[in-house]
Amino acid sequence: MSVGAAELLPGTGGRVDLPDLAGSGALAARSPLQLFWRRFRRDRVALVSLWFIALLIVVAIAAPLVVSLLGLPGPSVQNPNLTNAFGSPLGPSSAHPFGVDPLGQDVASRVIHGTRVSLIVGIVGTAVATVLGTIVGLLAGYYRGWTDTLLSRMVDVVLAIPVLLLGLGLGAACEVRGCLGGHVQSGLGVIIFLIALVNWTYIARIVRGLVLSLREQEFVIAARSQGASDMRIMSREILPNLFAPIVVYASLLIPQNILLEAALSYLGVGVRPPTASWGQMIAAATPTFSTAWWYMVFPGIALLLTVLAFNLLGDGLQDALNPRIAR
């Protein structure tokens, strides 16, 4: 997307002195952000998704307060009286709307607190991967030659790593005593590391391809001819033009990473109890699904809705940022 744009608007904002080309209308200039928002807000589904994600973020930040306001016990409060004689947890009730788990912990409370892990992993993991991938892709695409070869082969090597197996291995190796002399402890840190390790490569490839094209554009040639340094060209001329595809791709990565966290937690690599995580809850619920469906269903629904919201938001962002490929 090129910088600068203008279109006919009936309002007064952004008015410029130009001939009246549309009768009573005025020709007004709009910023890219305004154009994006104008397009984005027309997409009701994406807008609802955005609001849902905003709500999730609020819930994640204020989880203890939300739990308290709802009159629920804390996520780690164990109450064996809420299980029956077989140790099977009791189902949904007014006091425990999502039921309890086999330790008598409130599932709703844990689902709410689980939002934190999912969003931290989804957002932080994606952010780390995006920054890393953008830098690598930018350098590879801009410098080409041996730099490109070296970085691209590095990408190939990382892409060949089986992430789930690596996750299982790291989780096992770093459990109890940690890895690298105890500096890397299992849990959230390992999950974010894995996500960043795997996902930067995809972003790097996309960015590299775009940069290879952008570096031949006239505005880059012009900047170079005016004596701009490589760093300036990359940061001031090329990077702004990568914004839209990076945002779109990152928004689509977030749900993937939330699912990856859930998968790793399901496999026992993720965060450890008593910290609540949706994947971990689903894994723990598997043996008791036939007698305690709620223990799996509610975290599953939370996971489904969150991933769906991020996916729909990503689609909306793509449509708004790239109107030429909009459906």
Residue 175 as a binder of another protein (CB under 8 A): the answer is yes
Under the binding rule (CB under 8 A), the answer on residue 102 touching another protein is yes
CB of 171 to another protein, least distance (A): 9
Q: Please tell me whether residue 164 binds another protein under the rule CB under 8 A.
A: no
Q: Which is nearer to another protein, 34 or 76 (CB)?
A: 76
Asked if 83 touches another protein (CB under 8 A), the answer is: yes
**Residue among 104, 99, 108 nearest 82 (CA):** 104
Q: Does 184 bind another protein (CB under 8 A)?
A: no
> Smaller CB distance to another protein: residue 110 or 205?
110
Decide: is 165 part of the binding site for another protein (CB under 8 A).
no
- Measured torsion, CA atoms of residues 319, 120, 259, 184, in degrees rounded to the nearest 10: 130
Whose Cβ is closer to another protein: residue 64's or residue 80's? Answer: 80
Would you count residue 147 as binding another protein (CB under 8 A)? no
Question: What would the two tokens of residue 279 be?
Answer: 């994947």
Rounded to whole angstroms, the Cα distance separating 166 from 319 reads 35
| Nearest CA-CA partner of 47 in 268, 324, 312 | 312
Helix (H) or strand (E) holding 9: strand 6-9
Give the count of residues interacting with another protein (CB under 8 A). Answer: 25
The two most distant CA atoms of the chain are separated, in Å, by: 83
Closest approach of another protein to the CB of residue 186, in Å: 7
The answer to whether residue 169 forms part of the interface with another protein (CB under 8 A) is no
Query: Closest distance between another protein and the C-beta of residue 258, in Å?
Result: 22
Q: Rule CB under 8 A: is residue 323 a binding residue for another protein?
A: no
Candidates 102, 119, 112; CA nearest to 73 is 112
- CA distances 286 to 87, 283, 312, 321, Å, are 15, 5, 29, 41
Q: Give the whole-angstrom CA distance, residue 307 versus residue 314.
A: 10
Show contacts with another protein in window 32-71 (CB under 8 A). Answer: none
Binding flag, residue 87, another protein (CB under 8 A): yes
273 near another protein, rule: CB under 8 A: yes
